[in-house]
Structure 1
Amino acid sequence: MGRIKTIARRSFLVGSAAILGGVAFGTYMYKRDVENPLTAGLAEGEVTFNPFVKIDANGVTLITPRADVGQGAYSVQAHLIAEELDIDLETVRIDPGPPSAAYYNGVVAVEGMPVAATSETLMARTGRGAADVVGKLMGLQITGGSSTVPDMYERLRTAGAVARETLIAAAAEQSGVSADQLRTQNGAVVLPDGTQLSYTDLAATAAQTPVVEEVTLRDPATWKTLGKPHLRTDIVAKSTGMQEYGIDIQMDGMVHATTRTNPAIGGGITGFDATEAEAMRGVQAVLEITGGIAVVADNTWRAFQAANAVECDWGPSPYIGDTPKQFEEVAASFIEDRQDSRFKDEGEIEATLDTAEDVLEAEYRIPYLAHAPLEPMSVVVKLGEGRLDIWTGTQIPRFVQDGAAAVAGLESGQVHVHVLMSGGSFGRRLEDDYVRQAVEIAMQLPDTPVKMVWTREEDMTHDFPRPLAMSRARGAVADGAVQAFDLSIAAPSVAESSLARLGQPAMGPDVAIVAGAWDQPFAIPHYRVTGYRVPAMVPVSSWRSVGASGNGFLHESFMDELCHAAGVDPMAERLRLCSHDLSRAVLEEVAKMSDWGSDLGPKRGRGLAFTLAFGVPTAQVVEVSDTPDGIRIDKVFVAAEVGRVLDPVNFEAQLSGGVIWGLGHAMNCELTYEGGMAQQDNYHAFEGMRLHQTPQIEVRGLENGDEIRGVGEPGVPPAAPALGNAIFAATGQRIRELPFAKTVDFV
């Protein structure tokens, strides 16, 4: 980190060279330049240097292709370009750009590989390089896995530098002054006499200037905004209510629609009676769609009311439809035939446990969880002759494009996806089911903009939730130390479920089943983590921090049990066992922050949890009080290692938000099913952390590592176990099932 790099333009265009450990990944297809989508339709006087920067007489446009779902992705991407381009972001346009293979994600696939973030073996390095190959060859344009910053850090800085140096070359040609005598400042090239040539004035000349192929990235020590506190580019609009989300789109001639599909997931529809609905004010049509009906009206509220008035005959769900029976299926999955993975298998687990004087055993459970973003699924679709336009917030624009094309019977190039700011996601907008529904409606209303919005109830009950899971753990201690840790986890496969909806087979083990558990940096002498795949039940998907979201609880709660059984301090034992310097530094930091070991007084407790997820070692300490009215969460301390903090303000917001998200769901939330129907259909039944319950949160970011990491998700996994361990410290009660509110009250 921190060293100046000279990077060829080719490296920017195709990603890192993927030459790792002497093994070269590279074919003609991988090495060749990716087509720049911004060149299509360029007018005279416009110039684009690469897929991320376009300039015309009206200004500069920066392309930020990773979706913004509230995590500040647009802002950090724009700052990465602007820092090298030397331009004030208040003077530019920020655009997510079109769906394009040029915006492939070369990092996100790493999370699906059995490669520990702490490993530097040849196989590990090769696997990480292969992820870039996979991302490019598939044109994998996706936002997720806390990958935006790791994937774009160098690419966007290089994009800005390429544009800067080419503009300097254009200014040299236009002015006759040698390029080495020119500099840039706030969107202009400055001549030695102080004359400023704005980037917009240079656009026409730059369009005829050969792109500078080698650039030098600026030393981070000279950065003007990156690494320093600054406002996100969306903060004013969001603070003043001016931010436009997908649900806010308005168009001339637009009609409003909503849908109802079988509340028993996957059950389909056998018939319906729309007589009452069709007679209601403002209703224009009741249409049949796959699995249900759609109502079209003159406003959204009337569409909602009419949809509820349609009498539908629903078929039964094909899945195991009751949560107790679902957990029975999970419990029955701890068998050899359903073993999915065993990435961690060190020492002699069976022999050690067979000869141990006392074997500690525990079973833990976590429930299904809904995504429940504040903005329900919504989209505007317009189908014309040979052209389909889609306006929505999405994390998968190319998948949306292909899926919509398949429904409409068009080629993908005939589908134009306009990506908008999302009002939350937490992984829900990694799906395109709602878009496909809207396309079905638009096919029955050609040349008409159709705005389709789900009710909150439809959104909650037709989610693809975070999977339920169960762990069975065994362990042994001796001489005041943890000696053996055998953790088995059974859960449905997110990869299998998600890929099935894309018509693709799931190949190999699903790392998500054991993510945040198998790859923890503890040198326990006898240490095994086994994943078991539960046969598909309710369709599931990625939820903020994916498998680690629950596995942090399963792993770190039992780790705490083992420490107490050994009679050792949980912090001291983790530090003793920690085999990774960066992780040890995080534990040491959170110990200092929380004054670990000091006396909190009666009826108070302090709990520790650590999870390494998405390459980010994160430790949390939660302090609670046991009051006459219930558990009060007083304070939370968080330390995380991310390599480099690009925006200290947003860094704190993301980790604090992860803590609140993790704690709120651990306290109160579960999604249960009866007859295949989700029983929680709105926030009153799926209650997050209330404002008065929100603790003081102290955040510390460490920058010791060489790899830059993302922080959208790593704050979530340690929250639940840290809270559970704190409750145990305060009350002596060990809770092994989420949500905690099933066992204790919170104030």
Structure 2
Amino acid sequence: MGAGKILRRTFLIGTAAIAGGVAFGVWRYRTPYGNPLENGLAEGEATLTPYIKIAQDGITIITPRSEVGQGTTTTLAALVAEELDVDLTAIKTDHGPPSSAYYNGVVSAEGFPIAATDTGFLARNGRAMGDVAGKFLGLHITGGSTSVPDGFDKMRTAGAVARLVLIQAAADRLGVLAGSLSTENGAVIGAGDVRIPYEDLAIDAAAIDPPRHVELKDPSNWRYLGKSQPRLDMLGKVTGTASYGIDLRLPDMLYGTVRSNPAQGAGAFDVDASSAEAMPGVVKVIRTQHGAGVLADNTWTAFRAAEEITFDWAPSPYPETSEEMAAALEDSLDDSARDSRFRNDGDADAPTDNAEVIEADYVIPFLAHAPLEPMNATAWFHDGRLEIWAGTQVPTYVVQAAADLTGLPEGAITLHTVTSGGSFGRRLEFDFILQAIELAREADGRPVKMTWSREEDFAHDFPRPMGLARMRGVIRDGQIDTFDGRFAYPSVVSSQTSRLGITVPGPDTTIVAGGWDQPFSIRNYRLAGHRAPEMAPVSSWRSVGASGNGFFHDCFLDELIHAAGLDPMEERIRLCWHDPSRKVLEAVAEMSSWGSPLPEGSGRGVAFCLSFGVPCAEVVEVSQTDRGLQINRAFAAADVGTALDPGNLDAQLSGGMVFGLGHAMNCELTYTAGGAPDQTNFPDYPAMRFDQCPVIETRILENGDAIRGIGEPGVPPAAPALANAIFAATGQRLREMPFNRFVDFA
């Protein structure tokens, strides 16, 4: 490769500091992946970078992070459109093929024990090594609120490179210098009213070696970024014409479903499908790894037939009841099960003479992902190939797993990543896709759409784990002198990566995320994580470890502040040493008119959590009514560094707060026998109702030194803000979720 050129039709994206490694490793890191779009080009199509495909009928921008309702398609498309100089509303979007070229270099660094507030040399290079790991592993993955941080430079650069080669193609055609030309809304502009659409230049431009270095627009010249954009998928969603995986129809399609042992990880000793096989419309009943599947001429028939199958289920390999699981958590608080101690300031074991000692246990339950669109996938074996349509956040892993299951080479497998009707982390798993493949192998060359019933979706979720926190604090001379916590969970990382065939050494940072890394100055400050044994397979749930640790950490901090006789908002602001974090607290104090009088029986609660690099503070107001507690108003402020789409940021922040409040109020998975959850559908797992939801005021700040995502950070402060408000209104301190076990909500 020449020093100033990139191999034709490949694309080098960005640079990163590399902390070490031999020359070969550096070369491999700097060597670009090939452009995956080249393999599927139709006649007349051209691709200029892995993110842009141009045909005579228009421009397609590849947005390689899965759209699960968070608006990532619009924001990522805007990154490219900004530099490419095209009309954002005139382009098409596509998730693109599974490819290591779309690796996520930010998500892997989330697992490193590096506080977001740490800007030192080792921290900077540690994050850079995350990009190196993402590159070598080819992590084409959506998660961790990393889509925008990862794509910010890559996708703008892709647009800028494509614009320059299009200008050069026009210059070559016109016989003029490229510097004499400009662009406007998808066309190259020259003297004398010359206007050449990009579509007419794309084939020529694809033959030009792209420049290695490009200059990106100054933010002051942004046309789309920094402004609220209409969601590109909104029209389809509000008119009911948007298409999800569950809507897919193919010619001669069969419809399927499965029933698996409700106890995760176990199969069936015996299956009797005679009644199901005799039902009209049933094509075939198939024995699967953990139960049985049905092929039928429609989904409803498949569901009814699956209910007719009788099973002799094998016993669960995991603890079978919530009581057993709680005992396992309790046992794991022993020092022998300590997994990490990333925070250990001062001496948390110092003598407590003439001081007040406060101790409390906090508990959170298992929680289901429960997206509105249940798990589904379509698979089709034809012409020696396998074609798959599914909503997934890990497309390259799906292709690898499908190849392992079928024996086909990865090149014979095509995955179409479709828009998902919610995920909250559930589509980081692909068990349901493999089940669709199992059924399709028995379909004699016909495509099969496999859909789970809602009951199957609940029974076979990989939930957010239950957790236990044992907290101890010391108040001395009217100040918080000691904050000491131990958090116990089964490991999400170990459980999740084991299903990918990966072993991750070292501590699981998710056990203490949103706890050890909070920017407060307390003289003696200790936070330890304890790894409990696996109780049921678990996975990432929106905001992962911070979803529970925000509750543990902030509610106990609130207890200590009240015990010291201090104001909850003022003391958090005083303790906070991180300027962007302090400013979100100050913002939410102003928004909520903190300190102003409230009617009798009412109360305000504040909570703060820094997660995924985003400091977020929230305030909730509640009042006591004859029907129970009513949430009257709510406020949220967060700092994302750079606000690319303020409207979508507001939507995600308020949506995260609603998600956190509803689960804190009402939701849990419990286990009473057989290792299967008792909750099987939404009546057992109620969301926040419309009439319970307050108007939420949000504010996005831009004081941070790095661009951040917002899909998850609004969740962790919601539960503690509500719990602290309930204490302020009633004097009742809630240390266990869901709160409806202890109070009634109007």
Give the TM-score taking structure 1 as reference length.
0.97
Contact 1:177 1:191 in 2 (8 A): no
Alignment partner of 2:396 out of 392, 395, 398: 398
Corresponding residue SS for 2:441? helix
Query: Cα deviations across residues 444-470 of structure 1 (Å, max 9, x unaligned)?
Result: 224110000000000011100000000
2:432 counterpart residue number: 434
Taking the aligned partners of 2:46 and 2:147, their CA distance within structure 1 comes to 26
Taking the aligned partners of 2:6 and 2:326, their CA distance within structure 1 comes to 53
Contact 1:265 1:462 in 2 (8 A): yes
**Structure 1 residue 410 displacement after superposition:** 1.4
Taking the aligned partners of 2:59 and 2:661, their CA distance within structure 1 comes to 42
Taking the aligned partners of 1:147 and 1:513, their CA distance within structure 2 comes to 19
Match of 1:402, as an amino acid?
Answer: Q
1:651 counterpart residue number: 649
Correspondence list, 1:225-304, <5 A? 225-304=224-303
Contact 1:14 1:30 in 2 (8 A): no
Correspondence list, 1:198-237, <5 A? 198-237=197-236
Taking the aligned partners of 2:617 and 2:333, their CA distance within structure 1 comes to 30
**Structure 1 residue 286 displacement after superposition:** 0.6
Query: Cα deviations across residues 459-518 of structure 1 (Å, max 9, x unaligned)?
Result: 011100000000000001122221110010000000110111122223110000000000
Taking the aligned partners of 1:23 and 1:589, their CA distance within structure 2 comes to 44
Taking the aligned partners of 2:496 and 2:354, their CA distance within structure 1 comes to 42
Contact 1:80 1:156 in 2 (8 A): yes
Taking the aligned partners of 1:48 and 1:356, their CA distance within structure 2 comes to 73
**Structure 1 residue 44 displacement after superposition:** 5.6
1:4 counterpart residue number: none
Taking the aligned partners of 1:15 and 1:180, their CA distance within structure 2 comes to 24
Taking the aligned partners of 2:631 and 2:690, their CA distance within structure 1 comes to 12
Match of 1:455, as an amino acid?
Answer: S
Query: Cα deviations across residues 367-418 of structure 1 (Å, max 9, x unaligned)?
Result: 0000000000000000134311100110000011111111111122221110
Match of 1:263, as an amino acid?
Answer: P
Contact 2:393 2:428 in 1 (8 A): yes
Corresponding residue SS for 2:598? coil
2:738 counterpart residue number: 739
Taking the aligned partners of 2:74 and 2:354, their CA distance within structure 1 comes to 55
Corresponding residue SS for 1:498? helix
Give the TM-score taking structure 2 as reference length.
0.97
Contact 2:14 2:153 in 1 (8 A): no
Contact 1:254 1:449 in 2 (8 A): yes
**Structure 1 residue 24 displacement after superposition:** 9.6
Corresponding residue SS for 2:587? helix
Corresponding residue SS for 2:361? strand
Taking the aligned partners of 1:347 and 1:446, their CA distance within structure 2 comes to 68
Corresponding residue SS for 2:482? strand
Is 1:473–2:471 an aligned residue pair?
A: yes
**Structure 1 residue 58 displacement after superposition:** 2.4
Change over 3 Å in CA distance of 1:531–1:8 after alignment to 2? farther
Number of residue pairs matched?
739
Taking the aligned partners of 1:552 and 1:14, their CA distance within structure 2 comes to 39
Taking the aligned partners of 1:114 and 1:576, their CA distance within structure 2 comes to 26
Identity over aligned residues, as a percent?
53
Correspondence list, 1:97-108, <5 A? 97-108=96-107
Q: Which moved more, 1:528-537 or 1:36-45?
A: 36-45
1:600 counterpart residue number: 598
Contact 2:103 2:138 in 1 (8 A): yes
Correspondence list, 1:539-550, <5 A? 539-550=537-548
Contact 1:362 1:473 in 2 (8 A): yes
2:671 counterpart residue number: 673
Corresponding residue SS for 1:710? coil
Corresponding residue SS for 1:166? helix
**Structure 1 residue 732 displacement after superposition:** 0.3
Taking the aligned partners of 1:582 and 1:80, their CA distance within structure 2 comes to 25
Change over 3 Å in CA distance of 1:566–1:265 after alignment to 2? same
Q: CA RMSD in A?
A: 1.6
Taking the aligned partners of 2:62 and 2:390, their CA distance within structure 1 comes to 17
Match of 1:339, as an amino acid?
Answer: R
Taking the aligned partners of 1:536 and 1:704, their CA distance within structure 2 comes to 40
1:447 counterpart residue number: 445
Correspondence list, 1:337-736, <5 A? 337-352=336-351, 354-355=352-353, 357-674=355-672, 675-736=674-735
Match of 2:438, as an amino acid?
Answer: E
Taking the aligned partners of 2:682 and 2:577, their CA distance within structure 1 comes to 42
1:195 counterpart residue number: 194
Contact 1:46 1:207 in 2 (8 A): no
**Structure 1 residue 68 displacement after superposition:** 0.3
Gaps of 5+ in 2: none
**Structure 1 residue 537 displacement after superposition:** 1.1
Taking the aligned partners of 1:743 and 1:68, their CA distance within structure 2 comes to 37
Is 1:28–2:27 an aligned residue pair?
A: yes
Q: Which moved more, 1:492-501 or 1:54-63?
A: 54-63
Corresponding residue SS for 1:744? coil
Gaps of 5+ in 1: 1-6
Taking the aligned partners of 1:582 and 1:37, their CA distance within structure 2 comes to 40
Change over 3 Å in CA distance of 1:122–1:213 after alignment to 2? closer
Contact 1:609 1:718 in 2 (8 A): yes
Q: Which moved more, 1:34-43 or 1:145-154?
A: 34-43
Contact 2:345 2:525 in 1 (8 A): yes
**Structure 1 residue 212 displacement after superposition:** 3.0
Contact 2:18 2:129 in 1 (8 A): no
Taking the aligned partners of 1:23 and 1:731, their CA distance within structure 2 comes to 59
Is 1:316–2:315 an aligned residue pair?
A: yes
Match of 2:74, as an amino acid?
Answer: S
Taking the aligned partners of 1:571 and 1:606, their CA distance within structure 2 comes to 10
Taking the aligned partners of 1:622 and 1:348, their CA distance within structure 2 comes to 34
**Structure 1 residue 601 displacement after superposition:** 2.0
Query: Cα deviations across residues 211-255 of structure 1 (Å, max 9, x unaligned)?
Result: 233221111111122211220100111010010001100000100
Corresponding residue SS for 2:350? helix
Q: Which moved more, 1:526-535 or 1:171-180?
A: 171-180
Change over 3 Å in CA distance of 1:297–1:22 after alignment to 2? closer
Match of 2:597, as an amino acid?
Answer: D
